[in-house]
């Protein structure tokens, strides 16, 4: 096996020499070429393209580790400190962290063997090497794991995943392994991304027997015997945006599997063909890939399968007509076993999106996210979707999808303050090609809101309340947006009245004489802060009220009996009261004080002796402004009438009284009537006089 490896390395030695510059700038090449990703919501670990080897000074030597089951995992996590002194329990938001392990094994068994657990954990920044005949890292029936930023080398198998779900292998450096670099068996929905896999004796990355619907993307695979191999029974896998180069056999090999998607990969200088769709492959989709000088620059792919769709790929040696100038050749690229019906004129290149404002390790919600959208050589339009993780990429939650803008105010209320968070931005083009960027971890805290504004002053400016205030001591953790003005008739009745960006506000909708209370608050992107200490002001009122009265006119008013006096006052503020006074002999006598509408009074004139008087009506408003009007009145209630019974019928016979003068005799009935009339008038006069004396004294 080792001899075979050495022969393979010699075969590609001359290629390495001629392409040293390309290899020396591997990270930059990935940044430009490994651009497109597919992001199912059920997969994890969608990381960057940067492969980081562990820091040697932090590595801790450790003997091989075998973990079987959740209980065993918990026990070993406690004894090895993977639970960080009991602060982690292996739950989704509190995974165990196995970091900086240095496991070197001469021979076997596996360096790290974990089986039969769904405990959440992260394996990071470790060094696993020298495991001959075994796997450096071996996970069997394991769910909820992230393997990231480790160096795995000089073993028979680098990383083996057999069974389980929800596993991500991201940003690892896997090199110089005898048989396979990364081996996927009987697992679905996992992600292999951002890894460097090189100098492997056989296959760099393999999906076989029951490995369905996994994503292998953004990896740099070079100098292996074969690049990515999809063996029998591994259907539905997606190979996206990988750079696969300088391998001594095929770059991608697919056999006895269906529905494999091969999109946006760069296949460069592989000794055999770039892609081999072998017998038993079916319904594969091969598009937007760059084939550059594979197989000596001729016949760069083979298709011995059935129903495979091959179109829109770039081939370095092909030139044809492009009459309509749409960057797609009008004639197909034909090989012995197949053809690309619509080959590209230009290489398909694309940039990743990137966040502009996520450099701080501590952020406060809501977070105003800004990013640059990706560009590509075919000017495809794109939309973006945002995901976040609180468990270092073990799982991702959708925040929003299909954004066409380049910014978003992200305000997650379901994340505990102080949690460590990562963001993933995925852009999808109109051709269903994907690019993505993952942020560095940061802590997300609840916001600090603005403090209350100070020195709130309210002044009266001719019936307009002029408000002013000074800025808060702090606007908190976010940018200022506006001030809110609260108004009410009392401190306990303040309601939102207006918003302004200025440090002043003029309130013209006020009632003179009324007292108003005001308070001011400041708002930022994060929300509204506390209100200021309330201040109050009474609006000045110098305008007197006016009124009309229904009972009187400007001249002399003759009154008798009961008279309804109805006053109709108006004012720019509020009416306080109405006084009605009767002036007798120059003295004001208050008849009634009215304090609420209707302002009416029923005046019984029979309580006053007939004569000429004046009635004064005074109307007051709440600001003590008043108006007074006097009306002349004459009261006439005592009209005497003589009935027909008092008239003497002289034709009747009656007794007479003779006079000495010989005058005619006076009838006795007539004399009695005169006496009765005088008595009646005397009684009326005495009664009215008594009433007058009572009224005035």
Residue 346: closest CA among 299, 380, 384, 372: 380
CA triple 323-325-329, angle to 5 deg: 65
Is 697 in the same domain as 566? Answer: no
Considering the domain boundaries, does residue 292 fall inside one? Answer: no
With a cut of 90, say whether residue 242 has pLDDT above it: yes
| pLDDT bracket for residue 653 (50, 70, 90) | very low
Is 481 in the same domain as 573? Answer: no
C-alpha–C-alpha distance, residues 52 and 50, integer Å: 6
pLDDT of residue 20: 33
Lowest average pLDDT, out of 277-281, 372-376, 520-524, goes to 372-376
Mean pLDDT of 56-81: 94
Is 52 in the same domain as 196? Answer: yes
Considering the domain boundaries, does residue 97 fall inside one? Answer: yes
C-alpha–C-alpha distance, residues 16 and 23, integer Å: 8
Among 248, 269, 298, which residue terminates a domain? Answer: 248
Lowest average pLDDT, out of 395-404, 556-565, 572-581, 651-660, goes to 651-660
Considering the domain boundaries, does residue 330 fall inside one? Answer: no
**What CATH number is given to the structural domain containing 392?**
2.60.40.10
With a cut of 70, say whether residue 597 has pLDDT above it: yes
Is 433 in the same domain as 481? Answer: no
Parent domain of 414: 354-445
C-alpha–C-alpha distance, residues 51 and 623, integer Å: 80
Among 538, 562, 596, which residue terminates a domain? Answer: 538
SS3 192: strand
| pLDDT bracket for residue 623 (50, 70, 90) | confident
SS3 383: strand
Is 431 in the same domain as 562? Answer: no
Question: Cα-atom radius of gyration of the chain, to the nearest Å?
Answer: 51
Is 44 in the same domain as 169? Answer: yes
C-alpha–C-alpha distance, residues 158 and 396, integer Å: 26
Is 143 in the same domain as 99? Answer: yes
| pLDDT bracket for residue 24 (50, 70, 90) | very low
C-alpha–C-alpha distance, residues 23 and 17, integer Å: 10
Residue 83 DSSP code? T
Mean pLDDT of 322-351: 95
pLDDT of residue 586: 87
Is 655 in the same domain as 623? Answer: no
pTM: 0.68
Tell me how many domains the chain contains.
5
pLDDT of residue 394: 80
- pLDDT, tens digit (0-9, with 9 covering 90-100), for 136-180: 999 999 999 999 999 999 999 999 999 999 999 999 999 999 999
Side-chain half-sphere CA neighbours of 171 within 13 A: 21
With a cut of 90, say whether residue 66 has pLDDT above it: yes
Residue 77 DSSP code? H
With a cut of 50, say whether residue 3 has pLDDT above it: no
Is 660 in the same domain as 592? Answer: no
Is 391 in the same domain as 468? Answer: no
Considering the domain boundaries, does residue 570 fall inside one? Answer: yes
- pLDDT, tens digit (0-9, with 9 covering 90-100), for 177-187: 999 999 999 99
Side-chain half-sphere CA neighbours of 553 within 13 A: 6
DSSP letters of 34-49? -------TT------S
Torsion of CA 206, 208, 214, 220, to 10 degrees: 10
Considering the domain boundaries, does residue 296 fall inside one? Answer: no
Is 532 in the same domain as 628? Answer: no
Mean pLDDT of 104-110: 86
| pLDDT bracket for residue 132 (50, 70, 90) | confident
Percent of the chain with pLDDT over 70: 83
pLDDT of residue 8: 39
Is 408 in the same domain as 460? Answer: no
Considering the domain boundaries, does residue 425 fall inside one? Answer: yes
pLDDT of residue 393: 82
- The region, left, alpha or beta by phi > 0 then psi within -120 to 50, assigned to residue 176 is left
Neighbours of 472 (CB within 10 A): 22
Lowest average pLDDT, out of 7-16, 197-206, 630-639, goes to 7-16
pLDDT of residue 676: 61
pLDDT of residue 68: 98
Q: What is the phi/psi pair of residue 262, to 5°?
A: -125, 100
Pick the most confident of 311-325, 365-379, 659-673: 311-325
pLDDT of residue 650: 37
Please give the mean pLDDT across all residues of the chain.
Answer: 85
Among 611, 635, 659, which residue terminates a domain? Answer: 635
Prior bond to 533 cis, omega within 30?
A: no
pLDDT of residue 671: 54
CB 35 within 8 A of CB 351: yes
Considering the domain boundaries, does residue 281 fall inside one? Answer: no
Considering the domain boundaries, does residue 316 fall inside one? Answer: no
- pLDDT, tens digit (0-9, with 9 covering 90-100), for 349-402: 998 889 988 889 999 999 999 999 889 999 998 899 999 999 888 888 999 998
């Amino acid at each position: 096996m080792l001899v075979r490896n050495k022969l393979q390395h010699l075969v590609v030695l001359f290629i390495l020499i001629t392409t040293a510059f390309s290899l020396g700038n591997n990270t930059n090449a990935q940044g430009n070429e490994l651009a497109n990703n597919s992001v199912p919501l059920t997969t994890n670990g969608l990381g960057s393209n940067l492969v980081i080897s562990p820091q040697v000074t932090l590595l801790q030597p450790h003997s091989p580790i075998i973990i079987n089951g959740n209980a065993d995992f918990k026990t070993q996590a406690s004894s090895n400190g993977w639970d960080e002194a009991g602060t982690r329990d292996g739950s989704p938001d509190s995974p165990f962290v196995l970091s900086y392990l240095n496991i070197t094994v001469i021979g076997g068994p596996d360096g790290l063997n974990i089986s039969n657990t769904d405990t959440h954990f992260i394996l990071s920044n470790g060094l696993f090497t020298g495991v001959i005949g075994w796997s450096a890292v071996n996970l069997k029936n394991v769910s909820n794991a992230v393997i990231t930023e480790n160096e795995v080398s000089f073993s028979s198998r680098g990383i083996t995943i057999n069974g389980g779900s929800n596993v991500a292998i991201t940003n690892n450096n896997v090199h110089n392994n005898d048989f396979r670099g990364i081996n996927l068996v009987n697992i679905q929905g996992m992600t292999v991304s951002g890894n460097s896999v090189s100098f492997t004796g056989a296959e760099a990355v393999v999906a076989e027997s029951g490995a369905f619907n996994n994503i292998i993307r953004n990896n740099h695979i070079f100098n292996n015997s074969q690049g990515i191999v999809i063996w029998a029974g591994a259907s539905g896998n997606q190979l996206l945006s990988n750079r696969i180069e300088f391998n001594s056999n095929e770059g991608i090999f697919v056999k006895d599997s269906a529905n494999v998607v091969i999109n946006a990969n760069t296949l460069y200088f592989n000794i055999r063909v770039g892609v081999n769709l072998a017998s038993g492959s079916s319904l594969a989709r091969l598009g937007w890939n760059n084939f550059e000088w594979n197989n000596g620059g001729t016949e760069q792919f083979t298709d011995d399968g059935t129903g495979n769709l091959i179109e829109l790929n770039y081939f370095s040696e092909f030139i044809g007509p492009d009459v309509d100038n749409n960057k797609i050749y009008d004639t197909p690229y034909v090989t012995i076993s197949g053809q690309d019906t619509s080959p590209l004129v230009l290489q398909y290149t694309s940039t990743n999106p990137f966040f502009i404002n996520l450099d701080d390790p501590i952020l406060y919600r809501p977070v105003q996210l800004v990013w640059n959208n990706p560009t590509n050589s075919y000017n495809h339009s794109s939309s973006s979707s945002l995901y976040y993780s609180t468990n270092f990429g073990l799982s991702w939650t959708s925040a929003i999808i299909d954004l066409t803008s380049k910014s978003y105010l992200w305000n997650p209320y379901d994340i505990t303050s102080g949690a460590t968070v990562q963001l993933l931005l995925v852009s999808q083009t109109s051709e269903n090609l994907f690019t993505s960027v993952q942020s560095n971890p940061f802590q997300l805290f609840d916001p600090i809101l603005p403090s209350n504004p100070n020195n709130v002053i309210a002044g009266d400016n001719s019936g307009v309340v002029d408000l002013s205030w000074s800025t808060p001591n702090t606007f908190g953790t976010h940018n200022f947006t506006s001030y809110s003005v609260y108004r009410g008739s009392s401190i306990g009745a303040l309601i939102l009245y207006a918003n302004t960006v200025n440090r002043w506000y003029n309130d013209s909708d006020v009632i003179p004489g009324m007292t108003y209370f005001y308070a001011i608050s400041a708002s930022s992107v994060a929300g509204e802060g506390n209100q200021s200490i309330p201040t109050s002001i009474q609006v000045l009122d110098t305008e007197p009220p006016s009124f009309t009265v229904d009972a009187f006119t400007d001249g002399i008013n003759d009154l008798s009996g009961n008279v309804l006096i109805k006053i109709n006052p108006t004012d720019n503020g509020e009416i306080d009261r109405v006084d009605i006074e009767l002036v007798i002999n120059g003295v004001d006598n208050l008849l009634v004080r009215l304090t609420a509408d209707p302002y009416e009074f029923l005046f019984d004139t029979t309580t006053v002796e007939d004569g000429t008087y004046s009635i004064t009506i005074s109307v007051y408003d709440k600001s003590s402004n008043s108006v007074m009007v006097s009306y002349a009145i004459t009261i006439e209630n005592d009209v005497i009438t003589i009935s027909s019974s008092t008239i003497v019928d002289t034709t009747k016979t009656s007794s007479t009284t003779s006079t000495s003068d010989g005058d005619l005799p006076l009838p006795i009935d007539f004399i009695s009537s005169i006496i009765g009339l005088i008595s009646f008038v005397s009684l009326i006069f005495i009664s009215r006089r008594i009433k007058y004396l009572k009224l005035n004294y």
